[in-house]
Amino acid sequence: DANVPGARERCFALKDCEDARRLREAVGERFERAARAGDAATARELTFAVVGGGATGVELAGELSDFVNDVGRLYPSLPQEAPRVVLVHSGDELLPQFDPDLRIEALRALERRGVLVRLGRRVQRVDEEALRLDDGSDVPCALCAWCAGTAPVPFTESLPVPVGDDGRPFVDGWLRVAGSPPGTVYGLGDAFCCIPNGESEPVPQTAQVAGQQGAYVARLLNRGYDCVRTPPRLPAETRTPVANWLRLRGAEEASEFSFLNLGLLAYVGGGEALSQVQVGDARVGAWAGSAAFLLWRSVYIVKQVATRNRVLVTFDWVKTALFGRDITRL
């Protein structure tokens, strides 16, 4: 967004929980303003733009369409057709990392939800009340969420270590940050560039990768490897049951991190999702619709770190389904 005038100043980001809270409050405020405004201003106040057709942009467009359709019932003075979601993507297809059939289904599902999708269009400028596209057309909107591309967080940019062209510090095969004393600093997730041994491309910048990296570093430390050495090895004086078991397995030296791709999931709104299941390079199957939605929610629940969180999330889903969304602002 740094190369698009007005994007950083006028668009909402969606990188952390605070961004999500701010975006949700802003959407609720637009409904309040539209309810007080005249008819001429209603259409613009209730047009929500999303820039970027990757997983984040598509899922946000689907969630926004659910939100505006649900919340719109609480404002009977507003026309039912007034809330509108517009998705702008520079590519010819949504979700380029998915299989071609699922890309087509993503477009169809969003359009069934009433989302206006503009493919093959780049945002040239973000004005106060509209997006200017590269074909000269404008998309009037009162709110824009920027989900196109990724950029490193300011913290990693400030680290005194080498960075790549994308601004991300490098990590070695054991996820130790290059340029720091070995075994002192580890880098996990999409803020760091990890290129597996023998590969030319870095691992994907997804939560699935970050989760596997976190588990890998935890095993590395809990098993007592001496990470100052390259490759990390079990100290000769360590004779714990775990160390002896690792030696029997031939794991006296720590293996490098290896990402196992288990597939992709994306929510597209209206109780529908896309699922592409695989194990490494072996494809297991691909589904779209309600069955994929059940799989998406099942994975979401399983990935919660505590039983308490699983119960709270499930209760929140049930409450929303029975009583609608709570738009109370504290």
pLDDT (tens digit per residue) in 3-58: 899 998 999 998 888 999 999 999 988 888 888 876 656 767 889 999 999 999 99
Question: Quick one: which H or E segment has residue 211?
Answer: helix 207-222
pLDDT tens digits for range 209-220: 999 999 999 999
Q: Above 80 in pLDDT, residue 149?
A: no
- pLDDT for 278 equals 94
Burial of 256 by CB count in 10 Å (0-12 exposed, 13-18 middle, 19+ buried)?
middle
Interatomic CA distance for residues 308 and 194, integer angstroms:
33
**pLDDT (0 to 100) of residue 291:** 94
Question: Which residues make beta-bridge pairs with 116?
Answer: 86
Task: Say whether pLDDT at 289 is over 90.
Answer: yes
Residue from 211, 207, 216 nearest 172 by CA = 216
Which contacts of 301-309 are long-range, i.e. CB under 8 A and separated by 24 or more positions?
303/211
Angle, CA 273 vertex, CA 271 and CA 279 arms, to 5°:
145
pLDDT of residue 305: 84
The answer to whether 257 and 174 have CB atoms below 8 angstroms apart is yes
Question: Order of strands, edge to edge, in the sheet holding 282-289?
Answer: 263-269, 272-279, 282-289
Q: Are strands 263-269 and 272-279 parallel, antiparallel or unpaired?
A: antiparallel
Q: How many residues does the chain have?
A: 330
Q: pLDDT tens digits for 236-262? A: 999 999 999 999 999 999 999 999 999
Choose from 85-89, 125-129, 200-204 the range with maximum mean pLDDT.
Answer: 85-89
Tokens 């997983």 appear where?
Answer: 55
Amino acid at the residue 210: A
In degrees, to the nearest 5, what angle opens at C-alpha 152 toward C-alphas 150 and 157?
160
- 78 — phi, psi (to 5°)? -90, 140
Return the C-alpha torsion angle 156, 158, 159, 164, nearest 10. Answer: 60
| pLDDT of 330 higher than 70 | no
- The tokens describing 45, both together, are 């106040």
- Residue 329's pLDDT band, with cuts at 50, 70 and 90, is low
**Res. 134: pLDDT tops 60:** yes
